[in-house]
Structures are given as C-alpha cells and as structure tokens.
Amino acid sequence: MTDSIVFMGVAGCGKSSLAAAVADAEALPLVEGDDLHGDANRAKMAAGIALTDADRDAWLAALEERLRSARPAIALTCSALKRAYRERLRRAGGPGLRFVFLDIPREAALARVAARRSHFFSPSLVDNQFATLESPVGEAGVLRVDALAPLDRLCAEVGAWLRQAD
C-alpha cells in the first residue's frame, strides 16, 4: 500500500476512530485534520457558526501540504464534504489517493456529536454538514462504508479494499 487514504464524512461519523484503526493495521502515520484548523475556525465552530469556503481555504491548504509531503503515505481525517475539496486533495495526494466515506444517518451523527465532551464542534452544526455534503459515491477511488457498523468490521472492510486496489 503506497497511497494515502482520506477518511471523510460529516461530523460524528467516526472518521478519527476508523482512521486510527486502519493506520495502526496498515502501519501508516495518522494525521488528524481537525488539528490543522486555525484558532479562528475552531472558535467559529464552537460558537455554532458554520465555516465558509473562504474559512476552509487555509485548512485545505494545510491538508494538501501534508498529502504532498507524505512519504510514502498517510491516513488523513477530513470531512471533505464538497467535491471541490476532494479534488484539491486529489491534486495534492496524486492519482492513487483514496477516500473512505463513512456514511451515517443524521440522527446518529447528531447523537454522537452531542455526546462528545472534549471536542470543539457544536452539535448545532450537524444539519449544516448534511446540507453541505456532496456525496462522493460514484467518484473514482471511493469506498462507502456504513458508519454504524462495528469498528473491527469496518477496519477489515477497508483493509480488504486497499489490498484489492493494489
């Protein structure tokens, strides 16, 4: 496996948990996309203010740089809600960049985000995430998984897909 993987989806879908499990299983460095948000973005999200494309620009640039400098590959978490964001990441990550889309119902995402105690993301933004999401299903290099499936099953599914795609 020599290509980076982006774990994407709305808040609360389990990007961080699945990315950590797959990164461990595949011996990949893990880059948590939320860690690359600037203070202003974090403050806006904590206050329940949705980010704009302009707000996300510097964040996406930081993610692109991580993908460009990945040797040989990384596991990256990023909501990647819009196709334009995914295209930016594809240009930086190269033609083999893969996306794992954690698909989750709105109610489940809202419950998970509301249950978080140490995360800056406001539950009031979940609806905005779903409104912004442009499904990647059908795009090349995308695996859709059921975010409500057990983590061990998801990890095995992603691992099998990575080996199949090699």
Tell me: pLDDT of 72 over 90: no
Contact call for residues 7 and 137 (beta carbons, < 8 A): no
86: pLDDT confidence band, cut at 50, 70 and 90? very high
Q: What is the pLDDT of residue 118?
A: 64
119: pLDDT confidence band, cut at 50, 70 and 90? low
Q: What is the pLDDT of residue 104?
A: 97
Contact call for residues 112 and 43 (beta carbons, < 8 A): no
Per-residue pLDDT tens over the stretch 136-153: 999 999 999 999 999 999
Q: What is the pLDDT of residue 13?
A: 95
Greatest Cα pair distance, the chain, in angstroms, is 43
Beta bridge partners of 143: 100
d(CA 11, CA 40): 18
Per-residue pLDDT tens over the stretch 9-63: 998 999 999 999 999 999 999 999 988 988 888 888 778 788 889 999 999 999 9
Q: Which CATH number is 33's domain given?
A: 3.40.50.300
Domain containing residue 15? 5-165
Tell me: pLDDT of 121 over 60: yes
Q: Cα 102 to the chain's mean position, in Å?
A: 8
Contact call for residues 111 and 17 (beta carbons, < 8 A): no
Q: What is the pLDDT of residue 101?
A: 98
Dihedral Cα 136, 21, 66, 71, nearest 10 deg: -110
Tell me: pLDDT of 1 over 60: no
Global pTM value: 0.92
Q: Cα 58 to the chain's mean position, in Å?
A: 16
Q: What is the pLDDT of residue 34?
A: 86
What is the domain count for the chain?
A: 1
125: pLDDT confidence band, cut at 50, 70 and 90? confident
What's the whole-number mean pLDDT along residues 51-80?
A: 93
For residue 123, the 8-state DSSP code is G
